[in-house]
């Protein structure tokens, strides 16, 4: 009788493992689209999201920076981009402290761009700093853009969900 129960229990566990039953499923991918109707229409036409939320990670699409007509230097463009990214992070319930990866893509000479970028970046991003990769590229999607900034962010809502799940199902 004991052997029969052991075999039945083993077969049940094997069936659960094979079907994935009992395992925590990853939440489905969610997206954040722009609030501005024109920007949303463009992104829907081209086929991309402002941000994708998957589990404990948020992936923000790149935001381009380029000087407007009559502007001197890149600082005003970088300030616009960081303000835009700040609003997007706020919509996601995140802050600059949640940024894990800060990637920049530079068209043209990188040195002068970094000279203008770093002081603006340092107004928003404080220690402990995210990982940062600066990449030189030959072209960006927007012809007038010189830099594109892309973020990977820890999802603070996922941390709260995980804590709630741990409290509901203690080990």
Q: What is the pLDDT of residues 36-74, one digit of tens each?
A: 888 888 888 888 878 899 999 999 999 999 999 999 899
Q: What is the mean pLDDT of residues 100-113?
A: 96
Q: Is residue 100 part of a domain?
A: yes
Tell me whether residue 11 is in a domain.
no
pTM, rounded to two decimals? 0.77
Q: Which of the four pLDDT bands, split at 50, 70 and 90, describes residue 113?
A: very high
Total structural domains in the chain? 1
Residue 14 has pLDDT above 60, yes or no: no
Query: What's the mean pLDDT when you consider all of the chain?
Result: 83
Task: Classify residue 4: in a domain, yes or no.
Answer: no
131: domain CATH number? 3.30.1330.40
Let me know if residue 2 belongs to a domain: no
- pLDDT digits 0-9 by tens, 120-144: 999 999 999 999 999 999 999 999 9
Query: In terms of residue numbers, what domain contains 164?
Result: 27-168
- Shortest CA distance to 164 belongs to which of 156, 51, 23? 156
Within a domain: 61:
yes
Residue with tokens 């809502």: 157
First CA to last CA distance, the chain: 30
132 located within any domain:
yes
Q: Please name which of 62, 132, 130 lies closest in space to residue 96, comparing C-alpha atoms.
A: 130
Residue 83 near residue 124, CB atoms below 8 Å: no
Instruction: Give a yes or no: residue 104 inside a domain.
Output: yes
In the numeric block, which tokens belong to residue 155? Answer: 């999802």
């Amino acid at each position: 009788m004991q052997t029969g129960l052991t075999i039945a229990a083993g077969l049940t566990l094997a069936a659960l493992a094979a079907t994935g039953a009992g395992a925590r499923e990853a939440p489905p991918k969610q997206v954040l689209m722009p609030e501005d109707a024109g920007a949303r229409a463009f992104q829907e036409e081209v086929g991309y999201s402002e941000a994708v939320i998957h589990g404990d990670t948020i992936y923000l699409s790149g935001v381009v920076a380029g000087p407007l007509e009559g502007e001197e230097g890149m600082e005003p463009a970088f300030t616009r981009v960081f303000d835009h990214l700040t609003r997007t992070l706020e919509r996601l319930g995140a802050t600059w402290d949640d940024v894990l990866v800060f990637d920049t893509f530079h068209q043209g000479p990188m040195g002068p761009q970094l000279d203008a970028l770093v002081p603006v970046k340092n107004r928003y991003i404080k220690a402990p700093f995210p990982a940062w990769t600066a990449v030189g590229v030959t072209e960006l999607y927007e012809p007038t853009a010189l830099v594109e900034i892309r973020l990977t962010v820890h999802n603070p809502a996922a941390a709260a969900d995980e804590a709630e799940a741990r409290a509901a199902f203690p080990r």
